[in-house]
Amino acid sequence: MSSLNLDDFTDLIERPDGGVRRAAEERRERRVVPPGALGRLDDLGEWLAAAQGTVPVRPVERPRVVLFAGDHGVAELGVSARPAGGAGQLVRAVLEGGRPVSVLARRLGAPVRVVDMALDCAPETLPADVVRHRVRRGSGRVDIEDALTLDEAEAAFRAGMAVADEEADSGTDLVVLGDVSVGGTTPAAVLVAALCGTDASVVTGRGGEPIDDLAWMRKCAAIRDALRRARPVLGDQLQLLATVGGADLAAMTGFLLQCAVRKLPVVLDGVVSAACALVGQRVAFRAPDWWLAGQASGEPGQAKALDRMALEPLLDHGLTVGEGAGALLALPLVQAAAALAAELPERPERSGEAAGEETEPEAADTGS
């Protein structure tokens, strides 16, 4: 029996400040730009003001990219374009600056933090600060066995919470959340299908590096088999993550919920972060108010999860690469929304308007 009581999050997580949001809306009405002229940027600025609890909104100055990493045993079935156990190579490429997220992060001034939860590689091949939270070497094959033991799922969940606390305590003011995994979209699709009550074919996508039709069929079959194992444990979210999730997914769920507790806004990337957010919503219904959907990845499971949480992606550029790159592209949009909300001047008040005075119409000059 786990000692972690997920029900506590329902009491700990509050919604962003509604009074502050109303004040931000009133400020918008007084600005020189007509209401509605900035489209979703207005909504973004008001959401951020409510999350920060202040008007005018503060600029986003200390963003951070946080990537949870792991290998998944289901990749042995050939459900991914990458070889099973290959996530460690991706992590090294990210750390060395050779992945899209690395390039974008340098350009946008957002440091990247990678957290190894279940990579299938020797820990000494990676920096100590990357591997210190590792729970196990690779997660189990979810179509025939549990991804984790319940104790491992709790350890991973708590590790995610600890990372959220570290980020909040260090002054991070916005997190871009992503994953570095091989096979991770398969358990993510299982979680979405289980929580939304849909069939495997509805949520099976092509992955970050698109797979061919035969691989898609293998992936769909694996999700179908894992879904049968998921349904009996739907009432216990930690057990669900242990059964058909993985150490990286359990950690991301704990991270998302603790960020909501700490009032730290998060931008979600692809289907893996969306699936974890969906589990988080099942734990605490107010938690999604602290999250933004950065991009539409094209994965049907992501679309299903975001629809369930009423989150609309900020961008749709067709990026499937994962690793937080698509969500990171949304960072300048959020920063622009904050700048516009804070820095646009208000309309000058006309004479007598401030005091609520009514002006008499001038008498017409009759020339007499």
The domain boundary, picked from 7, 34, 57, lies at 57
Residue 361 located in a structural domain = no
pLDDT digits (tens, 9 = 90+) for 223-272: 999 999 999 999 999 999 999 999 999 999 999 999 999 999 999 999 99
Q: Return the CATH number at 136.
A: 3.40.50.10210
Residue 354 located in a structural domain = no
Residue 76 located in a structural domain = yes
Do 149 and 279 lie in a common domain? yes
Number of domains in the chain: 2
Residue 365 located in a structural domain = no
Which pLDDT score is estimated for 228? 96
Do 32 and 69 lie in a common domain? no
Do 189 and 210 lie in a common domain? yes
Pairing of strands 291-293, 174-182: unpaired
Spatial contact of 160 and 254, defined as CB atoms under 8 Å apart:
yes
Pairing of strands 291-293, 266-268: parallel
Q: Return left, alpha or beta for 85; rule: phi > 0 is left, psi -120 to 50 is alpha, else beta.
A: left
List C-alpha distances in Å: 43 to 48, 284, 313. Answer: 9, 23, 13
Do 194 and 281 lie in a common domain? yes
Q: What is the DSSP letter of 232?
A: G
Do 47 and 81 lie in a common domain? no
Local mean pLDDT, 10-residue blocks, the chain (368 residues): 86 94 90 86 94 94 97 92 90 95 96 97 95 96 97 98 98 97 95 96 84 91 96 96 97 98 97 97 97 94 96 90 91 95 82 49 46
Residue 353 located in a structural domain = no
Site of tokens 């799922």? 153
**Which uninterrupted H or E stretch holds 68?**
strand 63-71
Query: Would residue 323 show up in a list of annotated catalytic residues for this protein?
Result: yes
Which residue from 64, 62, 53, 63 is spatially nearest to 23, judged by alpha carbons? 53
Which pLDDT score is estimated for 1? 55
**Residue 182 C-alpha from the chain's centroid:** 19
Which pLDDT score is estimated for 2? 64
Spatial contact of 117 and 68, defined as CB atoms under 8 Å apart:
yes
Q: Give CA–CA dist 162/185, Å, rounded.
A: 24
Q: Return left, alpha or beta for 16; rule: phi > 0 is left, psi -120 to 50 is alpha, else beta.
A: beta
Do 44 and 185 lie in a common domain? no
Residue 4 located in a structural domain = no
Residue 267 located in a structural domain = yes
Q: Which of 323, 343, 346, 360 is catalytic?
A: 323
Do 37 and 89 lie in a common domain? no
Q: What is the DSSP letter of 182?
A: E
Structural domain span for residue 40 = 15-57
Written as six digits, the tokens of 7 are 């029900």
Do 226 and 297 lie in a common domain? yes
Do 105 and 158 lie in a common domain? yes
Note the pTM of the prediction, 2 decimals. Answer: 0.92
Do 248 and 154 lie in a common domain? yes
Residue 74 located in a structural domain = yes
Do 27 and 130 lie in a common domain? no
Which residue from 68, 99, 48, 284 is spatially nearest to 184, judged by alpha carbons? 68
Question: What's the order of all strands across the beta sheet hosting 266-268?
Answer: 112-118, 63-71, 174-182, 266-268, 291-293
Do 181 and 247 lie in a common domain? yes
